[in-house]
Each structure stands twice: as structure tokens, then as C-alpha cells.
């Protein structure tokens, strides 16, 4: 925008004034005379000449308009905060895009975020790392070596955000090898209730009583000519068997409990942390440390500042005294968990419990009669010629 001062001039010697302007080589633009008033516009540096000539010729000069950047900025010349503010803003903008402000990970399913962050940290990439120091291509290669599950990885940055995109390896399903010679043997002492042979030759039948380790389905078959062949013995053999669950619950136990909790606030700026809780000291002894990050926002935009709430919870132990009913309840809960974990597919035919008390605690013994699968596969180690 060209700087210009528009003015109007009135007086009796207007023609002489205009001639004087021309002779003084004043670059007068948009000259026009309307109703005896002379209007024109001159560059600001020539306005002093115009004023002097106007005074000499007895012309009344009126400034109509000042145009140009300098006239816009003039009112702000004493605002001394503007320049430092602009510099500070530019510096902040530079900082927020020159350093890793946050790391975003996409595409990971089995590999956890923490695993990826740890691997990145081992490569020297974490929050606060200058972006110019990151060798993206080399880091991608090293990340693939560091985490075997990564099939493809790409790293890029958008301002101060480091974006890590990856796809993971899809493991092929495990092959079911049905060519290995195997037997099916009894896992418990049991009475057989059903036999279903899928491979090999059954050597037991329904109603038989077997001991633990007895052969149920044989993978080694000898034909009528005496030749022995090996097969993959496979099948489902169910039976009725007994099992016991025994556990003791003392009346007094030492349990870990949470003690005093202290919270400290930190401010994280470009990976550097500053305490917002002056004079804070973590609790003495053992404690559990947890922290929560709260990124600060302004008008819905995330700022490169994060408030971190750090919680220190003291670890303590407390002696807990159980009544007889409570102890029995705990033991029954344990038995229920054992049933669920180890015999969820079995049918419970009978269950009996016996409780024995002592000065120190209670012992509970459950006696079960289950009906379920009793056969387990065991490989035959033979040298085939």
C-alpha cells in the first residue's frame, strides 16, 4: 500500500500554489478543483514542502486522509509489549513444532503402546526430543528389529506430534499334526463311561476300570502277519473319576493394604517437568507410584503443556483376623474357582466336604466325583526304519 496524504487547499492564490507545486517537483496525484477547492494527494515525505508552499501563498491546507502502513502502525508505536509478544509467539511456535510434543501410535493390536514407547525411547525418541535429530527411515528399520511383531511401520511428524503407524504380523495358525504316532492314556483312575475312537485301536471298553497311565487307545497296531504299524491314536474317552481339593485358611493373615496417599502436580513442557507442588516430598518406605496426564487445552486446541498428577500410595500390611464363617467362606470361594478353572467341562456327580479345625486355622477338604474326559494324548517315541 503506497503511503499518501490527501489534502484540500483553499485560498485566492490557488493557481500560483499549483504552479509552485509543479516547480518544486512535488508529485501530486489525483488533482482536481471542485467549487474553488483544490484536492490532491502527495507522498508523506513531500507534505512538508506542500505545507511550506501553502504558507507562502496564503493557502489554507486541510489534511483529509492519511493512507499507508506507517499511519496504521503509528498509534501502536508506544506499545512496547508488541515486539516481545511477537518474538515470544514465534519462539513458542518454533518450539512446539521443533520438538516432539506427543507421540501417537496407530495400528497396534497385540503390541502395547507402552512397548512401542519403550522401544522408541531406546532409540532416543521420546517427548522433548528435537525433531531434526530423528532419523526417520533408520528409526523405522530399527523399530522393526526391536519389536518382532511389527510387519510395517511408518513414522512422520505433524508439527510437534510424532505419528507412528504400523501393521502387525499375522501369525499363521498352528498346524495340527495328525501324523505323529500317539497313544491315548488315562489321566485318572476311573471307570470308563464312553469311548469314541478317531484314530488307532481302542484297548478298553465302556464299563472297564482303568488306573492312571493305563493305555486307552493304542497308536501301535500289529496286524495278523505280525507287522507293527504306528498311527496317530486319537479319540475321546470319558469316565467317572474322583478328585480332591484341600486348602487351609489361617485365622490371622497379613494382607497388603494401601496406606497414606500423597499427590504432587507437575507441569510438563516439551518433555521437561517442572514441579507445581513446592516442598513436596514422597512418603517414606515402599510406595506405589501412579501418574495421570492431563493435556492443557485452549479453546478446544491442545497446548504443548501437560499437567501431570503424580500419586504416591504407601504400601502397608495389616493383620486381618477371620472368623470361622469367613474362613470357610473364603475356602469355598477357592474351591469354586478350582472347579471353574480345572473341571469346567466335567459333570459333578457328587461332592462332599469335611472341615477340620485347629488353633491356627481351618482346613477344608472337598471330595468330588466327576464325569468327564479322562484320556490324554502321549507321543510314542519310536525309531522308524
Partner 1 sequence: MNLPFSDDRIELCGNTDVFFDRCRRLLECSDMLVQLEIRGHSVAVWGRGLTASDYADGRLHVQGQIAAVEFDGGL
Binding stretches for partner 1 (CB under 8 A): 15, 18-19, 21-22, 25-34, 38
Listed in sequence order, the residues at least 6 apart from 162 whose beta carbon sits closer than 8 Å to its beta carbon are: 100, 102, 103, 104, 125, 131, 134, 155, 156
Angle between helices 136-146 and 113-122 in degrees, nearest 10: 120
In the complex with partner 1, the residue whose CB is nearer, 39 or 251, is 39
In the complex with partner 1, the residue whose CB is nearer, 34 or 383, is 34
Residue 21 Cβ, how far from partner 1 at the closest point, in Å? 7
Secondary structure (3-state) at 223: coil
Task: Tell me the CA distances in angstroms from 100 to 32, 124, 152, 270, one per residue in order.
Answer: 62, 11, 22, 7
The span from the CA of 8 to the CA of 65, in Å, is 10
Residue 40 Cβ, how far from partner 1 at the closest point, in Å? 8
Angle between helices 14-23 and 47-56 in degrees, nearest 10: 140
Listed in sequence order, the residues at least 6 apart from 208 whose beta carbon sits closer than 8 Å to its beta carbon are: 191, 192
* Cell (9 digits) for 105: 501410535
In the complex with partner 1, the residue whose CB is nearer, 53 or 184, is 53
In the complex with partner 1, the residue whose CB is nearer, 62 or 112, is 62
The span from the CA of 140 to the CA of 134, in Å, is 10
Note whether 168 and 152 are within 8 A (CB): no
Residue 72 Cβ, how far from partner 1 at the closest point, in Å? 24
Q: Tell me the backbone φ, ψ of residue 240, rounded to 5 degrees.
A: -100, 125
Residue 67 Cβ, how far from partner 1 at the closest point, in Å? 15
Residue 63 Cβ, how far from partner 1 at the closest point, in Å? 18
Residue 62 Cβ, how far from partner 1 at the closest point, in Å? 18
Residue 90 Cβ, how far from partner 1 at the closest point, in Å? 40
In the complex with partner 1, the residue whose CB is nearer, 33 or 321, is 33
Report the length, in residues, of the chain. 385
* Cell (9 digits) for 122: 531406546
Residue 70 Cβ, how far from partner 1 at the closest point, in Å? 21
The span from the CA of 206 to the CA of 187, in Å, is 16
For residue 251, the 8-state DSSP code is S
In the complex with partner 1, the residue whose CB is nearer, 22 or 383, is 22
DSSP lists the bridge partners of residue 200 as none
In the complex with partner 1, the residue whose CB is nearer, 21 or 105, is 21
Question: If 0-12 CB within 10 Å is exposed, 13-18 middle and 19+ buried, where does residue 112 land?
Answer: exposed
Residue 52 Cβ, how far from partner 1 at the closest point, in Å? 17
For residue 25, the 8-state DSSP code is T
Secondary structure (3-state) at 200: coil
In the complex with partner 1, the residue whose CB is nearer, 34 or 211, is 34
In the complex with partner 1, the residue whose CB is nearer, 27 or 72, is 27
In the complex with partner 1, the residue whose CB is nearer, 22 or 205, is 22
Q: How many CB atoms lie within 10 A of CB 127?
A: 22
Residue 58 Cβ, how far from partner 1 at the closest point, in Å? 19
Amino acid at each position: 500500500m503506497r503511503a499518501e496524504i490527501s489534502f484540500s487547499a483553499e485560498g485566492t492564490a490557488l493557481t500560483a500554489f499549483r504552479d509552485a507545486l509543479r516547480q518544486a517537483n512535488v508529485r501530486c496525484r489525483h488533482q482536481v478543483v471542485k467549487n474553488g477547492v483544490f484536492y490532491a494527494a502527495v507522498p508523506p515525505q513531500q507534505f512538508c514542502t506542500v505545507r511550506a508552499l501553502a504558507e507562502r501563498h496564503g493557502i489554507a491546507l486541510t489534511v483529509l486522509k492519511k493512507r499507508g502502513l506507517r499511519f496504521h502502525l503509528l498509534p501502536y508505536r508506544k506499545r512496547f509489549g508488541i515486539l516481545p509478544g511477537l518474538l515470544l509467539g514465534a519462539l513458542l511456535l518454533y518450539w512446539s513444532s521443533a520438538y516432539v510434543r506427543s507421540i501417537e501410535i496407530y495400528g497396534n493390536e497385540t503390541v502395547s503402546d507402552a512397548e512401542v514407547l519403550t522401544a522408541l525411547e531406546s532409540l532416543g525418541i521420546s517427548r522433548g526430543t528435537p525433531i531434526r535429530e530423528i532419523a526417520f527411515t533408520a528409526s523405522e528399520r530399527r523399530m522393526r528389529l526391536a519389536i518382532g511383531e511389527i510387519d510395517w511401520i511408518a513414522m512422520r511428524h505433524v508439527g510437534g506430534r510424532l505419528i507412528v503407524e504400523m501393521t502387525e504380523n499375522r501369525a499363521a495358525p498352528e498346524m495340527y499334526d495328525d501324523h505323529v504316532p500317539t497313544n491315548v492314556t488315562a489321566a485318572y483312575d476311573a471307570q470308563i463311561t464312553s469311548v469314541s475312537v478317531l484314530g488307532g485301536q481302542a484297548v478298553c471298553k465302556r464299563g472297564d476300570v482303568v488306573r492312571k497311565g493305563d493305555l486307552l487307545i493304542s497308536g501301535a497296531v500289529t496286524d495278523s502277519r505280525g507287522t507293527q504299524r504306528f498311527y496317530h491314536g486319537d479319540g475321546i474317552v470319558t469316565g467317572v473319576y474322583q478328585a480332591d481339593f484341600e486348602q487351609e485358611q489361617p485365622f490371622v493373615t497379613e494382607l497388603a493394604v494401601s496406606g497414606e496417599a500423597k499427590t504432587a502436580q507437575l507441569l510438563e513442557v516439551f518433555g521437561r517437568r517442572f514441579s507445581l507442588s513446592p516442598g513436596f516430598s514422597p512418603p517414606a518406605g515402599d510406595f506405589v507410584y501412579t501418574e495421570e496426564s492431563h493435556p492443557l487445552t485452549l479453546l478446544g486446541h491442545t497446548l504443548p503443556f501437560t499437567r501431570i498428577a503424580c500419586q504416591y500410595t504407601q504400601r502397608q500390611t495389616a493383620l486381618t483376623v477371620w472368623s470361622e464363617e469367613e474362613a470357610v467362606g473364603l475356602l469355598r470361594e477357592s474351591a469354586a474357582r478350582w472347579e471353574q478353572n480345572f473341571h469346567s467341562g466335567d459333570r459333578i456327580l457328587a461332592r462332599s466336604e469335611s472341615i477340620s479345625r485347629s488353633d491356627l486355622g481351618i482346613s477344608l477338604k472337598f471330595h468330588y466325583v466327576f464325569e468327564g474326559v479322562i484320556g490324554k494324548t502321549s507321543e510314542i517315541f519310536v525309531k522308524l526304519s
